[in-house]
Amino acid sequence: MSDLKSSVQSQFDRVAANYRTSTVHAQGTEFGEMVRMAALRGDERVLDAGCGAGHTAMHFAPYVAQVVAMDFTPSMLGQVAQLAAEKGFANIETQLGDVEHLPFDDDHFDLIVSRYSAHHWPHPQQAVTEFRRVLKPGGQVLLADVVGFDDPTCDTFLNAVELLRDPSHVRDFTPSEWIAFFQKEGFAAEIAYEWRLFIDFPSWVERMATPPLHVDAIRSLLHGASSEIRAAMKIEGDDFWFRCAVVKSVIRDA
């Protein structure tokens, strides 16, 4: 495993329980939108890729036959099991695995969902290739994440702030980058939903146990940001807003 992936695992291993209790992760208008746009029949087998504490799996479990909640940080899977037991869901299984090397047979899932994980994937194209392999014909992916900016100044600023907060951060990919990754694998891809996520600075750095030196550096960047960046990220004191999107991708007919 690469140093970067080990860094993601050790980063999340230390703070797994924070992600079960985080309201940012437990709540969001995107859950209802994702369930609606999936147009579920009820017999689907669903993969939650990079499930963290399993909040996305919990939102799909009432409407499908089975959800496999997969993450490569072992302690996250314990959080999923605890949450599933608390909520009484018997149709959620946990699986240790890497999105870039999925531990499943070809043509296995009807739907893949993923939320707030993809900015940690060093090779997103490889993950999308794996999604294509394990999906049944006509299958779809709903990928939700923080997204970057087409404007290079804002994009560099956003990713610098993210990296200082979490050294395992790879990139908030832009909507057009995601669409290109999916189209290359034969998906019809579109941005199906967009929202803004308010970032309460103290809880954001506390959740990731960001070292004080980095917290100070992020504050310094935020306070010195240009008016262009302040407007794009809606910076208010230490707080700001992320842009987020659901990329909906459906396998095109062969």
Ligand X SMILES: C[S@@+](CC[C@H](N)C(=O)[O-])C[C@H]1O[C@@H](n2cnc3c(N)ncnc32)[C@H](O)[C@@H]1O
Q: How far is the CB of 151 from ligand X (least distance, A)?
A: 25
- 30 binding ligand X? (CB under 6 A): no
Nearest in space to 76 (alpha carbons), one of 135, 30, 14? 14
Give the nearer residue to ligand X in terms of CB position, either 69 or 229: 69
- The size of the chain, in residues, is 254
Give the HSE-up count for residue 238: Cα atoms under 13 Å, Cβ half-sphere. 12
- 175 binding ligand X? (CB under 6 A): no
- 8 binding ligand X? (CB under 6 A): yes
- Binding residue for ligand X, selected from 116, 173, 181, 204, defined by CB under 6 A: 116
Strands lying side by side in the sheet with 240-251:
92-96, 66-71, 45-49, 109-115, 135-146, 240-251, 187-199
* Residue 63: alpha-carbon gap to chain centroid: 21
- Binding residue for ligand X, selected from 34, 64, 77, 99, defined by CB under 6 A: 99
Q: Determine the size of the site formed for ligand X (CB under 6 A).
A: 22
Query: Is residue 64 within 8 Å of residue 42, measured between CB atoms?
Result: yes
- 128 binding ligand X? (CB under 6 A): no
Binding mask 46-75 for ligand X (x = CB under 6 A): ----xxxx-xx--------------xxx--
- Binding residue for ligand X, selected from 30, 33, 44, 100, defined by CB under 6 A: 100
Residues 238 and 244: their CA atoms lie apart, in Å, by 19
Give the HSE-up count for residue 161: Cα atoms under 13 Å, Cβ half-sphere. 28
Q: Which residue is nearest to ligand X (CB)?
A: 52
- 12 binding ligand X? (CB under 6 A): yes
Give the nearer residue to ligand X in terms of CB position, either 71 or 229: 71
DSSP letter at 98 equals: B
Residues of this chain that bind ligand X (CB under 6 A): 8, 12, 19, 25, 50-53, 55-56, 71-73, 76, 98-100, 115-117, 120-121
